[in-house]
Chains A and B, each alone.
Chain A
């Protein structure tokens, strides 16, 4: 479904050149849920943005849904991938109602039957009809993230890209959103890539997981291997130990 080979993303800031992503390669099969973990600045979100065409990138191959992705994406290309961002407070327009927010993608893609589809999208993510004409500030953080997920899924895309979808939420709300994502992924047979700094979240939601550090892909392991500590790189081991909590050095 998604194939990347030798992906490079370089930013130019003043006179400096920042190589945010260096030679990253992986493939994601149809229906698979793939995870990327790493610490801040490891380039994990940039990989996701490069796949969506939100940042310019160079690669030997960047295939989405069996087609080489063009530097400039067409409307049909964009509809295949939808994005859910980290901060539900920042990713929803503060002066638009939930109805406006969900309508917009359908209008852009000249869909029909908009009214009914907005209603269905709301109930899909566990929101009630009373939420439809509310503004984002009238919703809780978890409800906002549900709106963002509904907006991403309303076009029924084959691919869902998730950038830290629960890191701004409390654990109890995180649990609800993670359960929702799992359920929707199955019912829409989605291919998804989840980016997170939280190993436990990624291991919960993904089948295979890439570990990134300083813009490079360190290794790819399965969720079972990650849980069992059956990993190849020292960095992954260090990350795993740190994620299990504080340990005193004797």
Chain B
């Protein structure tokens, strides 16, 4: 199957703590093709940890085990740091959540975006600048020449988020993991950013993993959704069917979300069942 980008079978991530182990991701299995896959769950459900594990970005203390963790046939479990350098950037990449913390505060936008071109595409300085400017324009930054020389503190949240997306996309990865790429953005800007990602999936056949807690956004944007609870994938369904989900946790999440369509006196609260952990 050449269309499968990523194959994950029985992925587990544990962290040592003073009293034993914290099981952050439990027995996660899924495959990803050239599609938009959503991963939803509440804080602490392990969704970001899983995203980072796929890119080998977890701290040294984390223990990652799996039966299979393969990207286009390459086993990711036993990659050395040098091999990871070849994987990250051109083949798979990640957009982090918060531009305030994820951009280098003492480097200009231009330096950071063109650095990717120089390292990943082996561009010379001139070519890197040209590509960086074109990419900034592609993510709808109105005045790329001006923003190129800006430092991160001069950017608004929405612009920072777009700069990070530009930084990752300029290397043209085949798989992009986006961790809450729009949670800091206003709804109208959010949809612009989603449109950029959508174009890339359609035009370039990129695979996209969208990590988010926003059910409305994921169900309207993605093709398929994984729902995570306490480190476990409790349900997988088509995004459009999220509102008819089967698992009680998914149903509870949907019912707890205030909606513009249905008027409810009282929102349903999530009653957690220990059975879900088994």
Contacts and interface: CB of A to CB of B under 8 A. Distances in A.
A124 B66 CA distance: 47
B258 A200 contact: yes
Interface residues of B, number: 36
A238 B156 CA distance: 21
Contacts of B257: 171, 175, 200
Interface string B194-232: 110010000000000000010111011100000000000
A201 B257 CA distance: 9
B140 interface: no
B188 A238 contact: yes
A200 B259 contact: yes
Interface stretch (B20-28, B73-81, B267-275): B267-275
B261 A227 contact: yes
A226 B260 contact: yes
B186 interface: yes
Contacts of A172: 42, 252-253, 256, 269-270
A248 B266 CA distance: 32
A204 B190 CA distance: 22
A178 interface: yes
Contacts of B253: 171-172
B165 to A, nearest CB: 15
Interface stretch (A22-30, A92-100, A129-137, A239-247): A239-247
A247 B188 CA distance: 11
A198 B157 CA distance: 17
A80 interface: no
A47 B156 CA distance: 22
Contacts of A204: 258, 264, 267
B157 A40 contact: yes
A167 to B, nearest CB: 10
A178 B266 CA distance: 8
Given A39-B187, A40-B186, A203-B260, A175 B270 contact: yes
A240 B191 CA distance: 12
B61 to A, nearest CB: 23
Interface in A202-250: 203-204, 223, 226-227, 238-240, 242-249
Interface in A176-194: 176, 178-179, 182
B278 interface: no
Contacts of B215: 171
A199 B186 CA distance: 12
Interface string A55-98: 00000000000000000000000000000000000000000000
A39 B186 contact: yes
A168 B172 CA distance: 33
Interface string B72-111: 0000000000000000000000000000000000000000
A246 B199 CA distance: 13
Contacts of B188: 39, 238-239, 242
B132 to A, nearest CB: 26
Given A39-B187, A178-B258, A179-B266, A245 B216 contact: yes
Nearest to A235: B188
Nearest to A42: B186
B191 A242 contact: yes
B60 interface: no
Contact of B256 (A40, A174, A242): A174
A151 interface: no
Contacts of A107: none
A171 B213 contact: yes
A242 B186 CA distance: 9
Given A197-B186, A239-B187, A249-B195, A170 B216 contact: no
Contacts of B126: none
Given A170-B213, A171-B42, A172-B252, A245 B219 contact: yes
A245 B220 contact: yes
B48 to A, nearest CB: 14
A158 B190 CA distance: 37
Contacts of B220: 244-247
Contacts of A171: 42, 213, 215, 253, 256-257
Contacts of A174: 256, 258
Closest 5 pairs between A and B when the two form their complex, measured CB to CB = A245-B220, A175-B256, A172-B270, A39-B186, A175-B267
Given A170-B213, A175-B269, A244-B216, 5 more contacts: A200-B216, A200-B258, A245-B221, A246-B191, A246-B194
17 contacts: A40-B156, A171-B213, A174-B258, A179-B267, A198-B258, A199-B260, A204-B258, A238-B188, A239-B188, A242-B191, A243-B187, A244-B220, A246-B194, A246-B220, A247-B220, A248-B195, A248-B198
